[in-house]
């Protein structure tokens, strides 16, 4: 296993499957009455979050704690960052305190890669700008595999704000590695330039893609990243690209609906769809903890094959 997890594209098929299989073991721990392993006792994990987050930050925190690591939660607000300290000095300070792993979320695409050049410990990308969010893609793949029993040959449709979505980018890379086929559906304004080079198909017609999708992953419309107007109105967006009950009825019977959260209920996804039995949204959150446990365990040198300390 590599030292850092910066991009979903860095994982070979075997490495990705190792993470998913390890996460399945971790999920068994989560189901036990005592949800804790001694594996990372004495190790320190720093959560370095420069962007707001609910599920990803708490998920990493819980994952590290379930492996008995010490966890430091650092957020830019209330730190020396608000006094102008740069990423490098912040990172070196944390390293001087003995961080074995740094989990970073940053508004700047590429920040985790820079960090990896400065610190000795492992760096985990927990979302960098509009670039990547590899642990989200891993938990999504884990969720697809546990619901549908396979990844190879699955038809996965990602819908919505592809342009600003690090979740979409990481999913496209990982799903290709794992043998699934991805179709992107979005208004033309929310499709990134250079998409021809992505290992994915593009469609502007949601209704045509629905009947052949095993998975439909709805993406949040990221209004905080939009400096311009990308579509005429929320109503128009929902009408063409939102998933409501009528559209959900066009899906094959076994297919599932996913969303990384946070959701704009009523915009990209109707409340009744989000809360339906087809929705994996709550499972994705649960699986996120197991997947992050697996990633921390593998990166921090937990030997595979049952060796425990």
Q: Judge whether 157 counts as a catalytic residue.
A: no
**# residues near ligand NCD by CB under 6 A:** 11
Of 222 and 276, the one with the shorter C-beta distance to ligand NCD is: 222
292 touching ligand NCD, by CB under 6 A: no
Report the nearest approach of ligand NCD to the CB of residue 140 (Å). Answer: 10
Q: Is 105 noted as a catalytic residue in this protein?
A: yes
306: left (phi over 0), alpha (psi -120 to 50) or beta: left
Q: Which of 131, 220, 247, 292 binds ligand NCD (CB under 6 A)?
A: 220
DSSP per-residue codes, 46-94 = EEEESS--SHHHHHHHHHHHHTT-EEEEEESTTSGGGGT--HHHHHHHH
For ligand NCD, which is the closer residue by CB, 69 or 267? Answer: 267
Among 3, 35, 55, 278, binds ligand NCD (CB under 6 A): 55
The reply on whether position 134 binds ligand NCD by CB under 6 A is no
**Given 28, 77, 83, 120, the catalytic residue:** 83
Question: Does 261 interact with ligand NCD (rule: CB under 6 A)?
Answer: yes
Largest CA distance in the chain: 58
279 binds ligand NCD (CB under 6 A): no
Per-residue burial over 103-140, b = 16 or more CB atoms within 10 Å of its CB, e = otherwise: bbbbeeeebbbbbbeebebbbbbbbbbbbbbbbbbbbb
Footprint of ligand NCD on 155-184 (CB under 6 A): 166-167
Q: Please confirm whether the linkage preceding 262 is cis (ω < 30° from 0).
A: yes
């Amino acid at each position: 296993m590599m030292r850092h997890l910066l991009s979903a594209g860095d994982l070979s098929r075997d490495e990705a499957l190792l993470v998913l299989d390890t996460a399945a073991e971790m999920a068994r721990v989560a189901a036990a009455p005592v949800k804790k392993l001694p594996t990372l006792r004495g190790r320190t994990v720093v959560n370095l979050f420069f962007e707001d987050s609910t599920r990803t930050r708490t998920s990493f925190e819980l994952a590290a704690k379930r492996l008995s690591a010490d966890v430091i939660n650092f957020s830019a607000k209330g730190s020396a960052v608000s006094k102008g300290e740069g990423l490098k000095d912040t990172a070196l300070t944390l390293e001087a305190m003995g961080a074995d792993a740094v989990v970073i979320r940053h508004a700047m695409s590429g920040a985790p890669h820079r960090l990896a050049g400065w610190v000795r410990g492992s760096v985990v990308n927990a979302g960098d700008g509009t670039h990547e969010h590899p642990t989200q893609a891993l938990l999504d793949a884990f969720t697809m595999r546990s619901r549908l029993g396979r990844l190879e040959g699955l038809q996965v449709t990602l819908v919505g704000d592809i342009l600003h979505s690090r979740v979409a980018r990481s999913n496209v890379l990982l799903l290709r590695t794992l043998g699934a086929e991805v179709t992107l559906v979005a208004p033309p304004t929310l499709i990134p330039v250079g998409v021809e080079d992505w290992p994915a198909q593009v469609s502007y017609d949601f209704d045509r893609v629905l009947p052949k999708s095993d998975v439909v992953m709805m993406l949040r419309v990221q209004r905080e990243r939009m400096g311009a107007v990308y579509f005429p109105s929320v109503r128009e967006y929902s009408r063409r690209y939102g998933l409501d009950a009528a559209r959900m009825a066009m899906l094959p019977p076994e297919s599932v609906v996913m969303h990384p959260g946070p959701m704009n209920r009523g915009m990209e996804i109707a409340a009744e769809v989000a809360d339906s039995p087809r929705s994996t949204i709550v499972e994705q959150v649960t699986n996120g903890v197991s997947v992050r446990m697996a990633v921390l365990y593998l990166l921090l040198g937990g030997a595979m094959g049952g060796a425990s300390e």
